[in-house]
Amino acid sequence: MGNALRLENITMQFGGVVSVNNLTLDVEEHKITALIGPNGAGKTTAFNCITGVYQPTNGQIEFMGQPIVRNHPTGKAAKTYKGENADKYAKDAVLSPTPDQITGLGIARTFQNIRLWKSMTVFDNVLIAKHQHAKQNVFSAIFRGNMAEEKRMREETMELLKEQGLDAYKDELAVSLPYGLQRRLEIARALATNPKLLLLDEPAAGMNPQETIELAEFVRQIRDKYDLTVFLIEHHMDLVMNISDYIYVIDFGSEIAQGVPKEVQQNQRVIEAYLGVTEEEG
């Protein structure tokens, strides 16, 4: 199988600060790949470059073999650029999609700090994501008399909620859910856009140990059921080592190691930069 996602020479510089430094990585189709590294390593910034939240300063991102993001430093950014490969993409067209366009291509994500529509019900959080994906607002389906489509979306929403064990909470406000279930709801909402690639930014953050174990199993289940590729950021080392087919480790924006869990676990640079710190923190 090919790569669902490829980052090539991605550098993200904010003013004088290089947050992601010449990062190249491949996320193989249908695999679960992890991006790990200490706090501030640049993991979320890398996700933001993939999802159109930030335009990287340099580099190219391919999705299913097609370039979707591309940039090179120009103007002021060229003068202050501290990264590598500044000329590599200068001949090619700049590609700078919006987050909505990225979602439309089949890339969905969850956020490190949960972003739900807090004052809406659990059901509506997922239904509205479906509506947004269908490029129509909440009312248009009804006004157009397109009841069949509306009915289908409602059924699919219930299906997603059941799968997450959230059906009993469907009429509750999103904000009233315990933290672990809010994380689940965010995944349901991401799945509502029918992604091929699912990016999870610390999906186990705030979960208790039992919820974390269940999450690992659940991520595998949805990967198989929806034929997804999964790329996740996570600090829980047990979860990462248990769930990942392949792991990239970054520190200060740069890759320091990559490999299967066993290789990464035994890598001296990783132990020094990351695993040791996590153990101390418990």
User: What does the binding site for ligand ATP look like in residue numbers (CB under 6 A)?
Assistant: 14, 17, 19, 37, 39-45, 112
CB 10, CB 236: distance < 8 Å: no
Size of the site for Mg ion (CB under 5 A): 3
CB of 101 to Mg ion, least distance (A): 23
- CB closer to ligand ATP, 40 vs 165: 40
- CB closer to ligand ATP, 64 vs 205: 205
Amino acid 83 reads G
- CB closer to Mg ion, 52 vs 73: 52
227: left (phi over 0), alpha (psi -120 to 50) or beta: left
Instruction: Give the C-alpha separation, 259 to 36, whole Å.
Output: 12
CB of 198 to Mg ion, least distance (A): 17
- CB closer to ligand ATP, 45 vs 57: 45
Amino acid 78 reads A
Q: Is 44 among the residues that bind Mg ion (CB under 5 A)?
A: yes
CB of 251 to ligand ATP, least distance (A): 9
Letters for 105-124 (x = contact with Mg ion by CB under 5 A, - = none) are -------x------------
CB of 199 to ligand ATP, least distance (A): 12
CB of 185 to ligand ATP, least distance (A): 21
Q: Is 45 among the residues that bind Mg ion (CB under 5 A)?
A: no
- CB closer to ligand ATP, 90 vs 241: 241
Tokens 């249908």: give the residue. Answer: 30
162: left (phi over 0), alpha (psi -120 to 50) or beta: alpha
Q: Which residues bind Mg ion (CB under 5 A)?
A: 43-44, 112
